[in-house]
Amino acid sequence: DTGVSQDPRHKITKRGQNVTFRCDPISEHNRLYWYRQTLGQGPEFLTYFQNEAQLEKSRLLSDRFSAERPKGSFSTLEIQRTEQGDSAMYLCATGVNEQFFGPGTRLTVL
Amino acid sequence: GQNIDQPTEMTATEGAIVQINCTYQTSGFNGLFWYQQHAGEAPTFLSYNVLDGLEEKGRFSSFLSRSKGYSYLLLKELQMKDSASYLCAVKVVGYQKVTFGIGTKLQVIP
């Protein structure tokens, strides 16, 4: 158990719909990361928070993607106007050097 | 940017030893990680090397040569449950994000 939970574990949506995922570190972690992983690839970095501040953001993160961590504890990742190419596993992680991943949210866009 | 190369697939026999290589090209190197990922699951942390040399942790060892941009993960006394993808990842100075390779899919056969 890495101490990171994610909800939902699976999400199926239709193209054009908005979706929101949640990440809950069980204990207090001031660093939180979001990654996206497609089949046959390694995780790709999306964004990084230190407490509530979003300090790093990948160029992969288009304007349709937004992430928040309002109180420095849980975080949400929202995708607006989903596209089929957004289908992937979305992973949340915490840690200082080594990163401990939550179980992920698998998104399927039909 | 960072460039990480590792073999896409390997096969090894139960009880044997296998070495998974990783080469990387990056500026401002600040650490190399190995993760294990079983199909359908999130990556789990195995090792972190920032200085040259060998780090041993049970049946798993990881080696780093910064001057050669090279690392390997050594798995001893292979077990069937070691069948998984092994991800090599690097971190650079000034950034918190971790860049992953595509992973090496290891199949352990009886």
For the stretch A3-27, pLDDT in tens is: 899 999 999 999 999 999 999 987 6
Give A23's contacts in chain B (Cβ within 8 Å). Answer: none
Q: Place A41 in a pLDDT band, splitting at 50, 70 and 90.
A: very high
Total residues found in chain B within this entry:
110
What is the spatial distance between Cα A8 and Cα A68, in angstroms, rounded to a whole number? 17
Name the phi and psi angles at A71, rounded to 5: -120, 15
**Closest chain B residue to A34 measured between Cα atoms?**
B97
On whether the CB atoms of residues A93 and A37 are closer than 8 A, the answer is: no
Cross-strand pairs, B98: B91
Tokens at B41, concatenated: 């699951």
Helix (H) or strand (E) holding B65: strand B60-65
Residues A47-89 pLDDT 10s = 999 999 999 999 878 789 999 999 888 999 999 999 999 999 9
Q: Are the CB atoms for A7 and A20 separated by under 8 Å?
A: no
Q: Do B45 and A98 touch (CB under 8 A)?
A: yes
Tell me what the mean pLDDT of segment A40-44 comes to: 93
Report residue B14 as tokens: 């139960």
pLDDT tens, N- to C-terminus, chain B (110 residues):
679 999 999 999 999 999 999 999 988 999 999 999 999 999 999 999 999 999 999 999 999 999 999 999 999 999 999 999 999 999 988 888 899 999 999 999 99
pLDDT of residue B4: 95
- Whether residues B97 and A91 touch (CB distance < 8 A) is answered with no
Q: What is the DSSP string of B8-29?
A: SEEEEETTS-EEEEEEEE-SSE
Minimal CA separation from B45 to chain A, in Å? 7
pLDDT class of A97 with cuts at 50, 70, 90: confident
The larger pLDDT score, comparing residue A30 to residue B59, is at B59
- Report the distance separating Cα A108 and Cα A88, nearest Å: 7
> Which residue of B97, B100, B103 is in closest CB contact with A56?
B97
